[in-house]
Amino acid sequence: MPITSVVKGNFRNTTTRQQINRIMNHFSEKFDNRIRTFWNDNIETEKQRLLDDILQYANANSQTFKRDVAEIQFDKDLEPLPIILEALSKDTTNWGQFYVDLLDDIFDTAKQTEKPNKILRNLIDYAYIEKDDKPFIQKIVDRLYKELDNDNLDAKLAAIWTLPNFLDNKIVKNRNKIIDTLQRLLNDNNWKVRIVAFKSLEYENLLPERYSLSFKDKLLKFIFGEPEQI
């Protein structure tokens, strides 16, 4: 398809800006089909081969890779980030900073979209590196910690939910300070913050001794449902 026919009409046809990016994107051109079939592929060796190929491509073409991924990372049709983050987790010596920089993109984009949790959900895939012992982990923890003071509720809840996962990592120097801050959120004015803080701390066994969710918050959760964390 000629590019001119795609661009014509100020994107009023069915081709979106994200589709335009994929057409002109070297990474997408190389891996699009394999990414789309990744979750349907029952052969583990094929999945591992794709992860290895993405990492090899990234290391051989780092600048092109970063530029191309930035164009398509939140493509809702392709959804490449979970696979990319898993692939890069095998070489955090070269790609640790990528995870740090991506946090800014995730939070900034989420705050500008109508469905922020579709973007914030990418934080789930930081599980691949939460036990890593390299210094970039401290940067990730500090970036997540910054979001605890954010007025954007979705971003704040996502950070509250994600941050405790890193606190068993010995590379984290301000663990006690972060735990204290998270525990103070158990008394936040917003009931959603209180409940998400409770759940995230409980999961990591970081609640204050003998602490339990108040009757009021149990009732709010029963009436309005579980707050969405990510």
- pLDDT one-digit tens code per residue, 19-60: 555 557 899 999 999 999 999 877 899 999 999 999 999 999
* Confidence band of 6 (pLDDT split at 50, 70, 90): very low
* Confidence band of 17 (pLDDT split at 50, 70, 90): low
pLDDT number for residue 230: 86
| pLDDT higher than threshold 50 for residue 3 | no
pLDDT number for residue 41: 76
Region 94-106: mean pLDDT is 98
| pLDDT higher than threshold 90 for residue 4 | no
CA distances (Å), 182 to each of 12, 114, 129, 222, in order?
46, 27, 21, 23
- pLDDT one-digit tens code per residue, 121-131: 999 999 999 99
| Count of all residues that appear for the chain in the document | 230
pLDDT number for residue 13: 43
pLDDT number for residue 43: 85
* Confidence band of 108 (pLDDT split at 50, 70, 90): very high
Instruction: Work out the mean pLDDT of the chain and round it to a whole number.
Output: 91
Residue linked to tokens 């990592």: 169
| pLDDT higher than threshold 90 for residue 14 | no
pLDDT number for residue 11: 36
- pLDDT one-digit tens code per residue, 171-226: 999 999 999 999 999 999 999 999 999 999 999 999 999 999 999 999 999 999 99
pLDDT number for residue 19: 57
* Confidence band of 114 (pLDDT split at 50, 70, 90): very high
d(CA 88, CA 216): 44
CA-based Rg of the chain, rounded to a whole angstrom?
Answer: 20
Q: Which domains does the chain have, with CATH numbers?
A: 24-224 (1.25.10.10)
Q: What share of the chain in percent tops pLDDT 70?
A: 90
* Confidence band of 79 (pLDDT split at 50, 70, 90): very high
pLDDT number for residue 42: 76
Q: Which H, E and C letters describe the chain, residue by residue?
A: CCHHHHHCCCCCCCCCHHHHHHHCCHHHHHHHHHHHCHHHCCCHHHHHHHHHHHHHHHHHCHHHHHHHHHHHCCCCCCCCHHHHHHHHHHHHHHHHHHHHHHHHHHHHHHCCCCCHHHHHHHHHHHHHCCCCCCCHHHHHHHHHHHHHHCCCHHHHHHHHHHHHHHCCCCCCCCHHHHHHHHHHHHHCCCHHHHHHHHHHHHHCCCCCCCCCCCHHHHHHHHHHCCCCCC
